[in-house]
Amino acid sequence: MSTIAHEHGALRENVVAALRDDIVSGRLAPGEPLRTEVVMQRFGVSNSPLREAFAQLASEGLVVVQRNRGATVAPLSRRDAADVFRVSGLLMEYVLRWALPRLVPGDVATLRRVSLDFDLAYRSGDLVTAFAEADRYGEVLLDRCGSVELSRAFQALLPRLQRLVRLLDPIEYLALQVSLHSAVLASAEDADVESAVAAVTSIWRQVERAVEALSDDTIGS
Protein backbone atom coordinates (compact mmCIF):
# COMPACT_ATOMS: atom_id res chain seq x y z
CA MET A 1 0.00 0.00 0.00
CA SER A 2 1.39 3.44 -0.94
CA THR A 3 1.94 6.15 1.66
CA ILE A 4 -0.84 8.25 0.13
CA ALA A 5 -3.33 5.37 0.22
CA HIS A 6 -2.36 4.60 3.82
CA GLU A 7 -2.87 8.23 4.86
CA HIS A 8 -6.19 8.33 3.00
CA GLY A 9 -7.38 5.22 4.84
CA ALA A 10 -6.21 6.59 8.19
CA LEU A 11 -8.11 9.84 7.61
CA ARG A 12 -11.26 7.90 6.75
CA GLU A 13 -10.99 5.71 9.83
CA ASN A 14 -10.44 8.73 12.08
CA VAL A 15 -13.62 10.33 10.74
CA VAL A 16 -15.57 7.08 11.06
CA ALA A 17 -14.45 6.51 14.66
CA ALA A 18 -15.20 10.08 15.77
CA LEU A 19 -18.61 10.30 14.08
CA ARG A 20 -19.56 6.82 15.30
CA ASP A 21 -18.75 7.87 18.85
CA ASP A 22 -20.77 11.09 18.47
CA ILE A 23 -23.78 9.17 17.12
CA VAL A 24 -23.63 6.31 19.62
CA SER A 25 -23.25 8.71 22.56
CA GLY A 26 -26.18 10.83 21.38
CA ARG A 27 -24.11 13.98 20.81
CA LEU A 28 -25.42 13.78 17.24
CA ALA A 29 -29.18 13.27 17.42
CA PRO A 30 -31.29 11.05 15.14
CA GLY A 31 -32.14 12.92 11.96
CA GLU A 32 -29.42 15.54 12.44
CA PRO A 33 -27.80 16.65 9.15
CA LEU A 34 -24.11 15.91 8.67
CA ARG A 35 -23.14 18.92 6.58
CA THR A 36 -20.23 18.07 4.33
CA GLU A 37 -18.45 21.42 4.62
CA VAL A 38 -18.73 21.45 8.41
CA VAL A 39 -17.45 17.89 8.80
CA MET A 40 -14.62 18.46 6.31
CA GLN A 41 -13.50 21.52 8.26
CA ARG A 42 -13.75 19.74 11.60
CA PHE A 43 -11.51 16.86 10.55
CA GLY A 44 -9.38 18.61 7.95
CA VAL A 45 -10.24 16.08 5.24
CA SER A 46 -11.23 16.30 1.60
CA ASN A 47 -14.49 15.10 0.13
CA SER A 48 -13.22 11.65 -0.90
CA PRO A 49 -12.38 10.17 2.54
CA LEU A 50 -15.46 11.86 3.99
CA ARG A 51 -17.70 10.26 1.38
CA GLU A 52 -16.17 6.86 2.17
CA ALA A 53 -16.65 7.47 5.90
CA PHE A 54 -20.33 8.26 5.37
CA ALA A 55 -20.71 5.10 3.29
CA GLN A 56 -19.14 2.96 6.03
CA LEU A 57 -21.37 4.49 8.73
CA ALA A 58 -24.37 3.93 6.47
CA SER A 59 -23.44 0.25 6.22
CA GLU A 60 -23.46 0.15 10.04
CA GLY A 61 -26.97 1.59 10.15
CA LEU A 62 -25.86 4.84 11.80
CA VAL A 63 -26.10 7.23 8.85
CA VAL A 64 -28.48 7.67 5.93
CA VAL A 65 -26.99 8.97 2.67
CA GLN A 66 -29.37 10.30 0.02
CA ARG A 67 -28.40 11.41 -3.44
CA ASN A 68 -28.33 15.21 -3.75
CA ARG A 69 -29.43 15.54 -0.11
CA GLY A 70 -26.27 14.52 1.71
CA ALA A 71 -25.94 12.53 4.90
CA THR A 72 -27.99 12.58 8.09
CA VAL A 73 -27.82 10.65 11.33
CA ALA A 74 -30.10 7.64 10.93
CA PRO A 75 -33.52 8.11 12.55
CA LEU A 76 -34.77 5.63 15.13
CA SER A 77 -38.25 4.21 15.47
CA ARG A 78 -39.79 2.02 18.12
CA ARG A 79 -39.91 -0.79 15.55
CA ASP A 80 -36.19 -0.36 14.80
CA ALA A 81 -35.37 -0.52 18.50
CA ALA A 82 -37.47 -3.62 19.11
CA ASP A 83 -35.80 -5.37 16.17
CA VAL A 84 -32.27 -4.52 17.34
CA PHE A 85 -32.98 -5.67 20.90
CA ARG A 86 -34.67 -8.88 19.77
CA VAL A 87 -31.78 -9.89 17.50
CA SER A 88 -29.19 -8.82 20.09
CA GLY A 89 -30.86 -11.03 22.67
CA LEU A 90 -30.81 -14.02 20.34
CA LEU A 91 -27.15 -13.51 19.48
CA MET A 92 -26.18 -13.04 23.11
CA GLU A 93 -27.88 -16.31 24.01
CA TYR A 94 -25.60 -18.16 21.59
CA VAL A 95 -22.56 -16.21 22.77
CA LEU A 96 -23.25 -17.43 26.31
CA ARG A 97 -24.00 -21.00 25.26
CA TRP A 98 -20.74 -21.24 23.35
CA ALA A 99 -18.48 -19.08 25.54
CA LEU A 100 -19.27 -20.24 29.08
CA PRO A 101 -18.11 -23.87 28.62
CA ARG A 102 -14.85 -22.55 27.14
CA LEU A 103 -13.97 -20.19 29.99
CA VAL A 104 -10.82 -20.96 31.95
CA PRO A 105 -10.12 -19.71 35.51
CA GLY A 106 -8.21 -16.73 34.12
CA ASP A 107 -11.25 -15.68 32.08
CA VAL A 108 -13.51 -15.86 35.12
CA ALA A 109 -11.02 -13.75 37.07
CA THR A 110 -11.03 -11.20 34.25
CA LEU A 111 -14.83 -11.11 34.18
CA ARG A 112 -14.91 -10.62 37.94
CA ARG A 113 -12.39 -7.77 37.75
CA VAL A 114 -14.25 -6.04 34.90
CA SER A 115 -17.52 -6.50 36.76
CA LEU A 116 -16.06 -4.79 39.83
CA ASP A 117 -14.77 -1.89 37.72
CA PHE A 118 -18.19 -1.61 36.09
CA ASP A 119 -19.95 -1.65 39.45
CA LEU A 120 -17.71 1.10 40.86
CA ALA A 121 -18.29 3.31 37.83
CA TYR A 122 -22.03 2.67 37.81
CA ARG A 123 -22.49 3.41 41.51
CA SER A 124 -20.39 6.58 41.30
CA GLY A 125 -22.46 7.87 38.37
CA ASP A 126 -19.63 7.63 35.82
CA LEU A 127 -21.79 6.38 32.97
CA VAL A 128 -19.10 6.72 30.30
CA THR A 129 -16.77 4.37 32.18
CA ALA A 130 -19.65 2.07 33.13
CA PHE A 131 -20.60 1.61 29.49
CA ALA A 132 -16.96 1.03 28.55
CA GLU A 133 -16.62 -1.67 31.22
CA ALA A 134 -19.90 -3.28 30.13
CA ASP A 135 -18.50 -3.43 26.60
CA ARG A 136 -15.26 -5.00 27.92
CA TYR A 137 -17.29 -7.65 29.70
CA GLY A 138 -19.01 -8.56 26.46
CA GLU A 139 -15.70 -8.63 24.61
CA VAL A 140 -14.34 -11.31 26.95
CA LEU A 141 -17.34 -13.51 26.19
CA LEU A 142 -17.16 -12.85 22.45
CA ASP A 143 -13.47 -13.75 22.42
CA ARG A 144 -14.30 -17.09 24.07
CA CYS A 145 -17.38 -18.04 22.04
CA GLY A 146 -15.16 -19.77 19.47
CA SER A 147 -17.08 -18.53 16.44
CA VAL A 148 -15.72 -15.85 14.13
CA GLU A 149 -19.08 -15.56 12.38
CA LEU A 150 -21.08 -15.16 15.60
CA SER A 151 -18.62 -12.59 16.88
CA ARG A 152 -18.75 -10.73 13.56
CA ALA A 153 -22.57 -10.71 13.56
CA PHE A 154 -22.74 -9.35 17.10
CA GLN A 155 -20.05 -6.74 16.47
CA ALA A 156 -21.94 -5.55 13.38
CA LEU A 157 -25.04 -4.92 15.50
CA LEU A 158 -23.18 -3.48 18.48
CA PRO A 159 -23.02 0.22 17.46
CA ARG A 160 -26.80 0.33 16.97
CA LEU A 161 -27.36 -1.45 20.28
CA GLN A 162 -24.99 0.91 22.10
CA ARG A 163 -26.74 3.89 20.57
CA LEU A 164 -30.20 2.68 21.56
CA VAL A 165 -29.44 2.02 25.20
CA ARG A 166 -27.90 5.46 25.58
CA LEU A 167 -30.87 7.19 23.95
CA LEU A 168 -33.56 5.24 25.81
CA ASP A 169 -32.78 4.81 29.51
CA PRO A 170 -29.06 4.37 30.17
CA ILE A 171 -29.47 4.16 33.94
CA GLU A 172 -32.03 1.37 33.71
CA TYR A 173 -29.96 -0.52 31.13
CA LEU A 174 -26.86 -0.35 33.31
CA ALA A 175 -28.90 -1.53 36.30
CA LEU A 176 -29.88 -4.57 34.24
CA GLN A 177 -26.22 -5.11 33.39
CA VAL A 178 -25.48 -5.46 37.12
CA SER A 179 -27.91 -8.38 37.23
CA LEU A 180 -26.50 -9.87 34.04
CA HIS A 181 -22.91 -9.75 35.27
CA SER A 182 -23.86 -11.45 38.52
CA ALA A 183 -25.78 -14.19 36.71
CA VAL A 184 -22.97 -14.86 34.22
CA LEU A 185 -20.31 -15.02 36.93
CA ALA A 186 -22.39 -17.39 39.05
CA SER A 187 -23.08 -19.57 36.02
CA ALA A 188 -19.42 -19.59 34.99
CA GLU A 189 -18.33 -20.69 38.45
CA ASP A 190 -21.02 -23.40 38.64
CA ALA A 191 -20.79 -24.45 34.96
CA ASP A 192 -24.53 -23.69 34.72
CA VAL A 193 -25.08 -22.35 31.22
CA GLU A 194 -28.87 -22.53 31.35
CA SER A 195 -29.07 -20.14 34.31
CA ALA A 196 -27.06 -17.54 32.42
CA VAL A 197 -29.23 -17.96 29.33
CA ALA A 198 -32.38 -17.61 31.44
CA ALA A 199 -30.99 -14.43 33.01
CA VAL A 200 -30.09 -12.78 29.72
CA THR A 201 -33.46 -13.78 28.22
CA SER A 202 -35.27 -12.17 31.16
CA ILE A 203 -33.21 -9.00 30.89
CA TRP A 204 -33.77 -8.58 27.16
CA ARG A 205 -37.49 -9.13 27.63
CA GLN A 206 -37.53 -6.29 30.16
CA VAL A 207 -35.78 -4.05 27.64
CA GLU A 208 -38.19 -5.05 24.88
CA ARG A 209 -41.17 -4.28 27.12
CA ALA A 210 -39.73 -0.85 27.86
CA VAL A 211 -39.50 -0.18 24.11
CA GLU A 212 -43.06 -1.39 23.54
CA ALA A 213 -44.28 0.97 26.27
CA LEU A 214 -42.88 4.07 24.54
CA SER A 215 -45.61 6.57 23.73
CA ASP A 216 -43.71 8.11 20.81
CA ASP A 217 -42.81 6.03 17.76
CA THR A 218 -39.74 8.19 17.07
CA ILE A 219 -36.80 7.86 19.45
CA GLY A 220 -34.38 10.59 20.40
CA SER A 221 -35.28 13.22 17.81
Q: What are the tens digits of pLDDT across the range 77-122? A: 888 888 998 899 899 999 999 999 999 999 999 999 999 999 999 9
1 pLDDT above the threshold of 70: no
Helix (H) or strand (E) holding 21: helix 3-25
More confident of the two residues 3 and 176: 176
Q: Read off the pTM.
A: 0.83
pLDDT band at 190 (very low <50, low <70, confident <90, very high): confident
pLDDT digits (tens, 9 = 90+) for 9-24: 778 889 999 999 999 9
Most confident of 70-74, 161-165, 207-211: 70-74
- Domain range annotation of the chain: 3-73, 78-212
High-pLDDT (> 90) share of the chain, %: 56
Q: What pLDDT is recorded for position 69?
A: 81
- DSSP three-state, residue 208: helix
More confident of the two residues 5 and 51: 51
CA distances from 178 to 80, 84, 172, 218 (A): 25, 21, 10, 28
Q: What is the mean pLDDT of residues 191-213?
A: 83
pLDDT band at 203 (very low <50, low <70, confident <90, very high): confident
- Is residue 24 within 8 A of residue 159, CB to CB? The reply is yes
pLDDT digits (tens, 9 = 90+) for 30-42: 999 999 999 999 9
Q: What pLDDT is recorded for position 6?
A: 47
* Mean pLDDT computed over every residue of the chain: 88
Q: State the CATH architecture for 78-212.
A: Up-down Bundle (1.20)
Helix (H) or strand (E) holding 174: helix 170-190
- The two domains 3-73 and 78-212 share their CATH topology (first three levels equal): no
72 half-sphere exposure, CB direction, 13 A CA radius: 13
Give domain 3-73's CATH number out of 1.10.10.10, 3.40.50.300, 1.10.132.20, 1.20.120.80: 1.10.10.10
Q: What is the mean pLDDT of residues 33-54?
A: 92
More confident of the two residues 210 and 36: 36
DSSP for 69-115, written as a single string = TEEEEPP-BHHHHHHHHHHHHHHHHHHHHHHGGG--HHHHHHHHHHH
Q: What is the mean pLDDT of residues 171-185?
A: 87
pLDDT digits (tens, 9 = 90+) for 60-79: 999 999 887 889 999 988 88
Q: What is the mean pLDDT of residues 42-62?
A: 92
